[in-house]
Chain A
């Protein structure tokens, strides 16, 4: 599967091998291209094996080479920045792939990239949620992991490029969604209503932590029922910690298992309990409910942007085109959620 526009050409492979040898202080590095990995509408993930002869990483390493695609969405980080985030999270002891090499020079492979260790297991959401009994241990572990991730705070060296939300995380999010929605914000009444609701109900500023911002079933890997890696860090940024909990529990990420509100795998209780074990803060269910509405909205505007990559002609793609037609189901989830919170009270 090398070549064909998705893998490494012979020329790029040779350039990469020589650069890696320099980076690793090795006599030689051989890269075996094992083909494109599934998933990742925004990034390209290539399975590679590195044979490193000498130096600090002497030996054979199963890795993923991750690079950007032709056009991204507004919220996504560049690959060099994403690698820096991953490095900071790896340092907390969270179960994430270790970044090994960061290539900032776009000339080498056509775009900046990084290479991380490859985790084993499956990520596909519809496969993860397939189990007769709820996966309570997995939900609890995912809560614990999120608590660890949220220990990364503003001021962490190497993450200065991440902008701080202004004036609060919620108001920044609502502002961003309005920008990203473009003309849809004033022509699609469900989105207009969602934006209005988010602006009127925005919680005051609280803790700011490193949020993954795509922490959900489908973005972690599981091997034999156990968590093996949390992946897809391209949307990370400083925000309200409850944003990640709301995203994880939002109706759009349950893969048809609406009865298991924590990511389609278990009840919220296990996920919340795991979070409180490591995060050093309590879960605020009211704030999570706010961020679940924000989650539907965020997914809606990302879907609009994905579709626009196709519609604008920059990246003709059937998958991106169909993502645009997911808007009605995302908006249905938003309306059902706003109906439910209106019935419970507490929001205006």
Chain B
């Protein structure tokens, strides 16, 4: 196809903004749940299109270090799964390193699917660090 503008991400973003500003305020109460789900779905799509795989290189590096391999994230994740499955990461210190990488991957996904939850989690873990320095949790 010819590169038509505006792009998909832009279209989704402006559709969501119009929906929020013009439609959501006048939605009848019995349709509000569906309307909020529509806004939520558009928001996830907008963030996914905007992210466009940014940050994946850093995560791939972290996974690669953990399992001593190279490649992009898509190629490395099934190999990580295999390593977990066969017990290569069973030792307690290996599990701790694994959990840290898994937490980074999960936070990156959460930034797309539920940034509010990510923000709440970030402020919770920072408060905890502040209150109990050095204890981890």
Q: Chain A: residues with CB nearer than 8 A to chain B?
A: 185-190, 192-193, 196, 200, 258, 318-319, 321-322, 325-329, 331-332, 335, 338-340, 342-343, 348
Contacts A328-B106, A329-B113, A343-B136 given; indicate if A189 touches B77 (C-beta within 8 A). yes
* Inter-chain contact A335/B81, CB cutoff 8 Å: no
* Inter-chain contact B110/A328, CB cutoff 8 Å: yes
- Secondary structure at the A interface, as helix, strand, loop or mixed, is helix
- Give every chain B residue within 8 A of A188 (Cβ-Cβ): 77, 81
For A193, the closest partner residue in chain B by CB is B84
Most buried by A among B34, B40, B95, B102: B102
Q: Chain B: residues with CB nearer than 8 A to chain A?
A: 34, 37-38, 40-41, 44, 77-78, 80-82, 84-85, 87, 89-90, 92, 95-96, 98-99, 102-103, 105-107, 109-110, 112-114, 117, 121, 124, 135-137
* Inter-chain contact A322/B40, CB cutoff 8 Å: yes
- Secondary structure at the B interface, as helix, strand, loop or mixed, is helix
- 15 pairs from A and B in contact (CB 8 Å cutoff): A186-B78, A186-B85, A188-B77, A189-B84, A190-B106, A192-B81, A193-B84, A318-B34, A318-B37, A325-B114, A329-B110, A335-B103, A339-B136, A343-B137, A348-B90
- Give every chain A residue within 8 A of B105 (Cβ-Cβ): 189-190
For B37, the closest partner residue in chain A by CB is A318
Option from A193, A328, A343, A348 in Cβ contact (under 8 Å) with B113: A328
Contacts A187-B78, A318-B37 given; indicate if A193 touches B98 (C-beta within 8 A). yes
Contacts A328-B114, A329-B110, A342-B92 given; indicate if A189 touches B102 (C-beta within 8 A). yes
